[in-house]
A and B are shown apart, each in its own frame.
Chain A
């Protein structure tokens, strides 16, 4: 009931999670062997230059002090300079994050909507044609890694039939919308540029589907099994004896309790989706955040690594808070439990 208190509680909790995450990633990034500055400046840079850059980044200080300096800088809005792009990492993130967010959001929506829809359809009649079909698709979806699917899609829709774009976010002949949110679909809608909108959507479709498939299958399987279990519960039989029409039982009285487990794992599926995004972005030549992050790790670009991980952490925490709110909305038992404590 008391949603504000619940959200406040979760926010405070999240701060500690993020604090722990920052300490962890800060330490890991620094204990990994190899000198990042030398790596960035190259073998021919003189020792004095390397030393001075190290001093600039406090790398000559004890690690605890380094962390404290980092925290101080964060509160001044300074996430440090990337050793490779030579820009403030915040600017890099601003540039690369929207592309990934757009992909992840579309993919997440496809995952949740079609996962639940297919699961519901399969649960209508056990062992029917529909049920078996959904189960087959879901098995294939669960075992096929997203990058394999992505390659298949490129091959089939791009190479064999050549009906879908398989690289980038927008065709070169389309006028790109001005940068507002950085998500091309949103920006083009905001400026009324429908040609760009549909073109961007077409570019999004294949990577989003290949990314969504694993989670979608998981969602479908869980929805199906929860629904067919719940279908035999006393309360559903009771609704039937009160003469509630079958259609209404299925779409209201059965669906809501059956969604609880599905939504609970939605957060995890979304996290897996972000992790899988790297290979998919690579295959579809998607200029996204995951690729920036991996490159940062390979180059030991300290400030960029930490910033990327922190942004991922914030996204993950936010998604989980939203999931918890939705679950609490669906399940009064959880809500009441919180109220009592």
Chain B
């Protein structure tokens, strides 16, 4: 088996706030292989965006890393200097943000932002002349199927629609992400038809370039259609990992099962079932398994001990004491 491109081991991240610490990431595990597409699924507020920011080293100043490691090709990103980290972001990894309107600087043209990203994606010695940078910018906008790129470069974000802006964000991210792309629910703010177009475009582009992609979402349909493997997250922990088909056919963790049942079905007449309760409060999270207050199968033991990963079948791991026996 090849080496993982990125490997997160037992990552713990707190946020210092007034009145205590928010213990958001509580031992997150994740690995992705070169060219792989994985889905990172979980409810709102379970730490998905914090995961993205940890990988890229752009955490909020109030965030504190309390443990764990993020290995990228064997180097621990948490130990890198800002300059070294930035060198990785320049060429090897990037992100797409949730809201394209917020992710583009409102007072600079698309051209200024895109051309700067292209300029810095080369090392100082290899930096392209201005003309070539512009040609490359036009090319990149063509790649994301935007019409009239020459004119677009002169536009400000305020002049464009949400869908166009998200395409530009994709273009920006792909310029600087040769190895790894973290897409944080791109398209959540767009209407459904546009969302679908954007998603297909993104998947085509990353497959073409063999860019490993972490797709963060709460929409299970997307994951089922396009992803190789799925990581299910709950309250700052990875609770289940499996190849996509396995996960949908044979979910083991009670949370995963609940999540799958909660998907609204267009065909059915019955209401989908939700999971009672909500993501815990992070200042005083539940002891033991963080899911136990909402778990239908919880035992007294679940309140004391945090479950580790157990392999239930090859490539399918679960962090639950029931271990699929229930």
Chain A contact residues, CB within 8 Å of chain B: 126, 232-246, 248, 253, 256-257, 260, 330-333, 336
Contact = CB atoms under 8 A, between A and B. Distances in A.
A240 B97 contact: no
Interface residues of B, number: 39
B283 interface: no
Contacts of A242: 89-90, 94, 116-117, 120-121, 172-173, 175-176
Contact of B103 (A235, A244, A260): A235
Nearest to A339: B159
Contact of A240 (B56, B61, B158, B173): B56
A70 to B, nearest CB: 46
B21 interface: no
B120 A243 contact: yes
Contact of B86 (A126, A237, A245, A336): A245
Given A244-B120, A245-B86, A257-B107, A238 B169 contact: yes
B58 A241 contact: yes
B281 interface: no
B176 A257 contact: no
Given A240-B89, A242-B175, A245-B86, A333 B158 contact: yes
B148 to A, nearest CB: 18
B108 A256 contact: yes
Nearest to B158: A333
B224 interface: no
9 contacts: A234-B98, A235-B102, A237-B53, A237-B97, A238-B97, A243-B86, A243-B94, A243-B117, A331-B106
A232 B60 contact: yes
Q: Most chain-B CB neighbours within 10 Å: which of A237, A243, A246, A330?
A: A243
B106 A257 contact: yes
B9 interface: no
B58 A240 contact: yes
A243 B95 contact: no
B117 A256 contact: no
B56 A235 contact: no
B132 interface: no
B10 interface: no
A243 B105 contact: no
A253 B176 contact: no
A245 B121 CA distance: 11
A256 to B, nearest CB: 5
Contacts of B89: 240-243
B90 A243 contact: yes
B91 interface: yes
B121 A243 contact: yes
Nearest to B92: A243
Nearest to A230: B105
Interface string B61-100: 1000000000000000000001000111111011101110
A242 B60 CA distance: 17
B156 A234 contact: no
B82 A234 contact: no
B198 interface: no
B104 interface: yes
A235 B106 CA distance: 8
Q: Most chain-A CB neighbours within 10 Å: which of B53, B108, B159, B175?
A: B108
Contacts of B107: 256-257, 260, 330-333
A244 B61 CA distance: 19
Contacts of B91: 243
Contacts of A246: 82, 86
A69 B93 CA distance: 75
A146 B88 CA distance: 51
B82 A336 contact: no
Nearest to B105: A235
A234 B159 CA distance: 19
Contacts of B176: 241-243
A241 B102 contact: no
A10 to B, nearest CB: 21
Q: Most chain-B CB neighbours within 10 Å: which of A234, A242, A256, A257?
A: A242
A331 B98 CA distance: 24
Contacts of A333: 106-107, 156, 158
B172 A336 contact: no
Contact of B106 (A238, A240, A245, A332): A332
B184 to A, nearest CB: 10
Q: Most chain-B CB neighbours within 10 Å: which of A244, A248, A330?
A: A244
Contacts of A239: 105, 113
Contact of A336 (B56, B94, B99, B158): B158
Nearest to B94: A241
A241 B117 CA distance: 9
Contacts of A245: 86, 120
Contacts of B90: 242-243
Closest 7 CB pairs of A and B: A243-B90, A234-B102, A243-B89, A332-B156, A242-B117, A235-B105, A241-B95
B108 A241 contact: no
Interface string B168-185: 010011011000000000
Contact of B102 (A126, A233, A336): A233
A336 B60 contact: no
A61 B105 CA distance: 62
A238 B104 contact: yes
Contacts of A233: 102
Contacts of B99: 234
Q: Most chain-A CB neighbours within 10 Å: which of B105, B106, B158?
A: B105
A235 B156 CA distance: 14
B103 A238 contact: yes
A130 B107 CA distance: 28
B105 A257 contact: yes
Nearest to A242: B117
B158 A244 contact: no
Interface in B96-150: 97-99, 102-109, 113, 116-117, 120-121
Contacts of B105: 235-236, 238-239, 253, 257
